[in-house]
Structure 1
Amino acid sequence: MGTKLIIDTDPGVDDAFAIALAARSADVDLLGVTTVFGNVPLATTTSNARRLLQLCDRPDVPVAAGASRPLLYRELHRSSTVHGSDGLSGHAASLPDATRPLEDSDAVSLMVSLLEASDEPVTIAPIGPLTNIAALLAAHPGVRSKIARIVLMGGAITLGNSTAVSEFNIWADPDAARRVIAEDDVPCVMVPLDLTHRCAVDSTWLAKLAASGPVGQALNSFTPDYLAHYRQVLGYEGIVLHDAVAVAEAIHPGILRAETYPVDIDSGLGPTRGMTIVDRRAVPNISTGRPVEVAVDTELDVLREFVLSRLAGGR
């Protein structure tokens, strides 16, 4: 086995692609999946995650449910509408029922047990709000040495999507994001909107995925609401695979090119709440935050082919 991986997720169309990417990669030891509120409420993200793993023929992977709300200020969060009411454009019911029961333990407890049992450091890929990860690092500081790195999808250098300056995963729980990204010392790679938008895939790519087999066909069937949204954003028929881009880096280190910048998160209650403050000046002078690897570029065709081949070809 190659990369040992835990995914923390809020499925979500792009989360579905990301989970399948890891689940269908032979060089990934997918230790577990934990769920968090986000694109849809926790009960739905948890059901989606379990049934997506069943779709990928991975009932061996344990799933545990985590946070149902942000650390603070419950009223500031709202679920996204981009993914449809069930997170998968109304097609979640088409997924097979999960045969593996939901873990009795919560998300943080599952992560702790998996980290402590691992004989080598584990990569964690949070692709939803960072509430579970903040709780893990706060309550169990001893597991830091077992984390190889955190590769997260979140943040924006320039334009946001939930607000003018804030990306959804960060905006959904900025207090948790600040703890993980700006205040902790676990190695962190941030994969922001600026790059994930450039990695968008078009209708030809989606048609190849749909023709590849049952899993590809199912993944493509989840995209109608997502396509409707990104038709306006991109100006053509295509979607942005935000979370799959981050998981590609988690399982293939270096497929994205990163630069190190000081990063802080605005966790105030004003109009810039959730903003990722990336100091790209030649001589940074940021009073808070810490140096973080920020993914800024990739070979676009290589990245798209990597994701497609893994999703289409399976293990």
Structure 2
Amino acid sequence: MGSKLIIDTDPGVDDAFAIALAAVSADVELLGVTTVFGNVPLTSTTANARRLLQLCDRPDVPVAAGASRPLVHLNKRGSSHVHGNDGLSGHAGSLPEATRPLESLDAVGLMVSLLEASDEPVTIAPIGPLTNIAALLAAHPGIKSKISRIVLMGGGVARGNSTAVAEFNIWADPEAAHRVIAEDDVPCVMVPLDLTHRCAVDSAWLAKLAASGPLGRALDGLTPDYLAHYRQVLGFDGIVMHDAVAVAEAISPGILRTETYPVDIDVTAGPARGMTLVDRRALPIDPTGRPIEVAVDTDLDGLREFVLSRLAGGR
């Protein structure tokens, strides 16, 4: 097996593509999947993650449920208007029932167990709100040496989606995002909206995925509500695979080009709450936050082909 990976997720259609990408990649050792509230409530994100792993013929991968709400301020708005009421365009029931029971450990407990047992540092790919990761780093600071890097999907340099300036995963729990991104010292790569939107795939790409076999057909079958939303956002028939872009970087380091900038998170109660403040000045004066890698570019066609070829060749 190749690089070791833990995915923390809130499936979500783009999460489904991301989980499948890791689950079917022979050069990835997917140690575990942890779930968090986000696109839909925790009960649904957890059920979806388990069904997706079953779809990928990966009942060997443990799943543990994590935070059902943000660290500090309760936030009742999810993204069901984007992903459908069940998180998968109303088609979660089309996926096979999971055969592996849910872990008795919670998300943080499973991550600690997997990290402690690993003989080498592990990449963590959080592709939902950062609540579980903040709790892990706060409660188990000694475990940080077992984390090689955190590759997260979240934030925006020049745009938002939940608000004019805030991306959903950060906006859903800004305090957790601040703890992970702006305050800690674990190496961090932020994959923002600015890049994920440029990696959007069109209906021709989805048709190739659907024609590739049972896995591709099942994944394409989860996209109707998501496609309807992004038809309005993009102006063409296509979807944005936000989380799959981040997981591509997690499993193939360097597939995204990054630049290092100081990044802070707005945790105030005002209209900028959840904004990622990316300081791109050549000579920052008293920058806040901390320097992290921000993904800014990729070979767009190469990235799309990387994801498609792996999903098409999957189980």
Partner of 2:23: 23
Question: How far does residue 287 in structure 1 lie from its aligned partner after superposition?
Answer: 3.9
Partner of 1:269: 269
Aligned length: 314
Question: How far does residue 302 in structure 1 lie from its aligned partner after superposition?
Answer: 0.5
Partner of 2:66: 66
Q: Say which SS state the counterpart of residue 149 (structure 2) adopts.
A: strand
Partner of 1:226: 226
1:290 has 2:290 as partner = yes
- After superposing on structure 2, the runs of 4+ consecutive aligned residues of structure 1 that deviate more than 4 Å are none
> What pairs with 1:232-271 in structure 2 (closer than 5 Å)?
232-271=232-271
Partner of 1:3: 3
Q: Say which SS state the counterpart of residue 179 (structure 2) adopts.
A: helix
Partner of 2:77: 78
Conserved 8 A contact 1:6-1:32 = yes
> What pairs with 1:204-223 in structure 2 (closer than 5 Å)?
204-223=204-223
String of CA shifts for 1:77-99, please: whole Å, max 9, x gaps: 41112000000000000110000
CA distance in 2, matches of 1:49, 1:109: 18
Q: Which amino acid aligns with 2:276?
A: T
Q: Which amino acid aligns with 2:312?
A: A
> What pairs with 1:1-315 in structure 2 (closer than 5 Å)?
1-74=1-74, 76-80=75-79, 81-314=81-314
CA distance in 2, matches of 1:228, 1:192: 22
Question: How far does residue 314 in structure 1 lie from its aligned partner after superposition?
Answer: 1.6
Scaled by the length of structure 1, the TM-score of the pair is 0.99
Identity of counterpart residues, as a percentage? 83
Question: How far does residue 3 in structure 1 lie from its aligned partner after superposition?
Answer: 1.1
String of CA shifts for 1:80-126, please: whole Å, max 9, x gaps: 12000000000000110000000000000000000000000000000
Judged with a 3 Å threshold, the aligned counterparts in structure 2 of structure 1 residues 300 and 249 are, in CA distance, closer, same or farther, namely same
Question: How far does residue 284 in structure 1 lie from its aligned partner after superposition?
Answer: 1.3
Say what the alpha-carbon RMSD is for the aligned residues: 0.7
Scaled by the length of structure 2, the TM-score of the pair is 0.99
CA distance in 1, matches of 2:271, 2:15: 27
Q: Which amino acid aligns with 1:73?
A: H
Q: Say which SS state the counterpart of residue 190 (structure 1) adopts.
A: strand
**Where does structure 2 lack aligned partners over 5 or more consecutive residues?**
none
Conserved 8 A contact 1:77-1:172 = no
